[in-house]
Amino acid sequence: MLRLPSTARRALLSLLALCSLSGLTFLIPPITNSTLANGATMVIAVLGLNFLTGWSGQVSIGNSGFMAVGAYSTAIVLQHHTSLPIVVTMLISTVLGALAGVIVGLPATRLRGPYLAGMTLAFGASISPLIQNLGSLTGGPAGMQLSSIPTAPPWLVAIRSSSTTSITLNAQWLALLSILVTIVAMFLMANLQSSRIGRAMRLVRDNDVAAELVGLNLPRTRVTAFVVSAAYAGLGGSLMAYTQGSVSPQHFVVSLSITMLSLMVLGGMGTLSGAVIGGVIYAYSDNTITWLTTSIGVDPISNFGSNLKNVIFGGLLIVTMLVAPRGITGVARQVYIKVRTPR
């Protein structure tokens, strides 16, 4: 039986996933397409955090800051160049996110454990006040509206019936765009993890002394992990700006970093499927928590109600680390092994 090379298999699976999910967008309502787009945004961001924490062993609580760099880069670029293609804008945001990763990653090479977490936490906490104080560039506390929001292209309008509303078309187009960007990001990450760089990250995570003995440059490897993670966060932030149509400093507070860390642990650290699971959980978390607050009679705009999401994700993070440290992916794998193992 002919066995395809690993890269070709990943490309074929990516193409099948793209075709399947793209076809799904024609069947689901606009609100579900919007939910799908939001989930795809978080999948990309969690992929980057997974590479940094799950693969290289560096804990970060500041990836919301890298997402802010990507989101505001997109908004600022579109303010001056409204006709710039989406691909170019996203590439600019990704590169600027990677540059921010270099800035944070260089001093981080000297830190470990809680000291590293504290430094990244300080970075994440400083971004929102910084954005608010750069009002002439970022719009201040009010944020920015995107000058150019993606609308459905002519080919999609031609495929759909003439009675399809513009809201439905635009929601589907954003979902299609998000699916395409996410699958490309996953394909690149899968190849990166199986490459020499990915193997170096795993060795540094498991035993940095052994990694140094075999000739790995630890500072360079750790900075590379930050750069890749920040680039993915910048891409996720850019996609978030497109899907939401605006950016605001309130979107990129420390609680977003905690949420991303929780989603990574819940899905499964160091796995691609864990990032997808985390994105699905994030996509439906708002509706679930709204239903919960309504059911228990909590005012959603009260102090407790507005912070209930952070409380739930923090609690899930603690419980998962204690009960299932490998997340949902690890539990599913154990169940699969038990089922397949003959008794």
Position 5 scores a pLDDT of: 64
Two tokens at 54? 């799950």
51 inside domain: yes
271 inside domain: no
Position 91 scores a pLDDT of: 96
112 inside domain: yes
More confident: 50 or 291: 50
- Phi and psi at residue 83, in whole multiples of 5°? -95, 5
319 inside domain: no
Contact 170, 164 (CB under 8 A): no
What does the alpha-carbon distance between residue 43 and residue 272 come to, in Å, rounded to a whole number?
9
Find the helix or strand (DSSP H, E) in which 320 lies: helix 308-323
**Quick one: average pLDDT of 253-265?**
88
142 inside domain: yes
In angstroms, what CA-CA distances link 87 with 26, 83, 182?
Answer: 23, 12, 13
pLDDT digits (tens, 9 = 90+) for 314-334: 788 888 888 888 888 888 888
92 pLDDT higher than 90: yes
Position 71 scores a pLDDT of: 94
118 inside domain: yes
Cβ-Cβ contacts under 8 Å for 2 (sequence gap 6 or more) = none
pLDDT digits (tens, 9 = 90+) for 41-75: 999 999 999 999 988 888 888 899 999 999 999 99
Position 39 scores a pLDDT of: 92
Cα atoms found within 13 Å of the Cα of residue 28, Cβ hemisphere only:
19
How many domains, in total, are found in the chain?
1
163 inside domain: yes
Position 343 scores a pLDDT of: 62
**Quick one: average pLDDT of 288-307?**
74
- Name the band, by pLDDT with cuts 50, 70 and 90, for residue 1: very low
A 10 A CB-CB count for 54 gives 25
Position 75 scores a pLDDT of: 93
176 pLDDT higher than 80: yes
Position 272 scores a pLDDT of: 87
pLDDT digits (tens, 9 = 90+) for 109-167: 887 778 888 888 888 889 988 999 887 888 888 888 888 778 888 888 888 877 788 88
Residue 238 domain boundaries: 6-252
